[in-house]
Structure 1
Amino acid sequence: MEEELAQASAIYDLVVTFLINYSFQIVGAILIFVAGIVIASKVSNWLFKFCQSKGLDVTLSKFIANVVKLLFILMVGIIALGNLGISVTPFVAAIGALSLGAGLALQGLLSNYGAGLNIILTRPFVVGDTVLVQGVSGIVQDITLSTTILVDEDDVRITIPNRHIVGEIIHNSGAMSLVETHFVIRSNSNIQGVLDDSLQAVQALEGLGNDTRALFGVSQLSGLGVEITGRIWVPTAQYFYFKYAINQSLQDRLKQTGVELATPAQTIRLQQD
């Protein structure tokens, strides 16, 4: 019993001595680290707003701000450890050894980060673009170091690991997508009049306007009639809305101008013996 009390008393004396000798260093280190985190967040936010004001892409702005924040916190951590009298050299060596093992174990994750860095720096697409990659299409909502997030016209979020994007063929149409429509009219119709009326019908749609990239032309001639094809660029976020509206508008205009769509016809001959 006396030995246990002696050990407890020795531990208590050791703790009290440690707190007396190092309490100010510990409190100082904590205050330095907390203040560093707060300052790093403020500097990161300011830098992000500054990059945005200069017209930089939102993804690149986020990346720069986050890297500066991480470096600032790392620097403050080294200062805090130095305030405690702890040398950071052994930690650097340990981090190097751990990084080697982690690199081998997390090759897939690290390849995503490397690909994400490549996307952020080379910028084959930016937030708001419409891209098609690996058979998946959508509007780019966010780009992180590990993944790229797309949103399609049904508001479905599609998350793609960045390593499946870099090195692949990417179709980037900006914020627009192409709507194609086809209809066949009789060969004796006023072709130029139909083309002009079709273009006017599309340009009259609310939300498109006269500056809409739209083209109508004769795509094929056949025994059935003349096939008219329209190519209209519409906002990707409202792709199907405009696709249905375009078809309805064309149908109404053709009906209004008296243009008949060509229909298949068969001639049947009855032969009596």
Structure 2
Amino acid sequence: MNQASLDQELQQLENAYNFILDFLMRYSLQLIGAIVIFLIGLLVASKVSNLVAKQLKKHNIDITLTQFTSNLIRITIIIMVAVICLGKLGISVTPMVAAIGAASLGAGLALQGMLSNYAAGITIIVTRPFVVGNTIEIKGVAGVVDEIKLGQTILTNEEGEQISIPNKHIVGEILHNSFEYKLVETRLNIEYQSDTDQVIAIIEQQLAQSNFVNQQQKPLVGVNAFNSIGIEIGIRYWVPTPQYFEAKYQTNLAVINALHSAGISIPCPVREVHIQH
């Protein structure tokens, strides 16, 4: 390295040093003030969001809405403090807002699906058509609500499978919410000669003895229809969603065993074939 190159690099370092020193001398107080304001703002945002969360929990507000509200308040306060700090340093936020707006427009066009999921998530959180722990069915998919996120809702079924549903497929659709229970509907046929009152009493007794069936919501048993092979008996009862199939299978077994023990036969379809010569 020759002397000229060395002198040039030393001059550049000196210029950088002078620039930094001049900046610190001019804006040191503003910079320190901005840092102090920002740190105080972070502390205030945390305290306010925690206070809001505690008040919402105290009034038994849903945990999803509580978290969303407290996080929104914290982010809003931080943004306001950041704007104040930039103004303290003499930086205008107007061009930044315009640039963010233009970037947001482009990103919005590219991420329409994701943004629609977020918008639907906010709608779900605010309107609360269901909460964590409810049993919902949407477009033929059912399960217990495990978590509600901005972009998607997480369900779990009896097999322990995790089902992720984009929120845009929930808002605006027909939604079934049975809370923590799920309806079981069963039909069976008895012969026309059978004692219908006896059959209904036997089934009601089995439902009353079941540990799965929700007794607070009375099970319904009655004559559902008449068909070519016998009288159709309809059975409707509610069971906890996590034990839906287990409860259904055990109840069906108990009912059929009780009917057989009482001598009640279940007819089966008979088809006659006539052969003509």
For Structure 1 versus Structure 2, the TM-score category normalised by the shorter chain is 0.7 to 0.9
Aligned-residue offset at 1:216:
0.8
- Cα deviation, 1:3-45, whole Å, max 9, x if unaligned, reads 3212212222322343454445444434443443344234323
Structure 2 counterpart of 1:176: 181
> Would you say 1:225 and 2:230 are equivalent positions?
yes
Q: Is the 8 A contact 2:212 2:239 kept in 1?
A: no
**1:215 equivalent in structure 2:** 220
The secondary structure found in structure 2 opposite 1:234 is strand
Equivalent in the alignment of 2:94 = 89
Aligned counterpart in structure 2 of residue 98 of structure 1, from 98, 103, 109 = 103
> Taking structure 1 as reference, are residues 181 and 88 closer, same or farther at Cα in structure 2, changes over 3 Å only?
same
Which residue in the other structure is 2:3 paired with?
A: none
Give the 3 Å change call, closer, same or farther, for CA 170–89 of structure 1 in structure 2. Answer: same
Counterpart amino acid of 1:10? N
1:117-136 counterparts in 2 under 5 A? 117-136=122-141
Say how many residue pairs are matched: 271
Structure 1 residues 10 and 101, CA gap change in structure 2 (3 angstroms)? same
Larger CA deviation: 204-213 vs 151-160: 204-213
Aligned with residue 43 of structure 1, among 35, 41, 48: 48
TM-score (norm 2): 0.83
d(CA) in 1 for partners of 2:77 and 2:130?
Answer: 29
Could you say what secondary structure the match of 2:76 adopts? helix
What is the alpha-carbon distance in structure 2 between the residues aligned to residue 147 and residue 67 of structure 1?
18
- Of stretches 138-147 and 16-25 in structure 1, the one that deviates more from structure 2 is 16-25
Taking structure 1 as the reference length, what is the TM-score of the superposition? 0.84
Stretches of structure 1 lacking an aligned partner (at least 5 in a row): none
**Residue 245 of structure 1 aligns to which amino acid in structure 2?**
Q
Match of 1:191 among 192, 196, 218: 196
Aligned counterparts of 1:256 and 1:2: Cα–Cα separation in 2: 108
Distance 1:46 1:10, change over 3 A: same
CA distance in 2, matches of 1:249, 1:49: 48
Any idea what SS the aligned residue of 1:259 has?
coil
Identify unmatched segments of 5+ residues in structure 2. Answer: 1-5
- Aligned pairs for 1:28-177 (under 5 A) are 28-177=33-182
Cα RMSD for the two superposed structures: 2.9
Deviates more, 1:9-18 or 1:255-264: 255-264
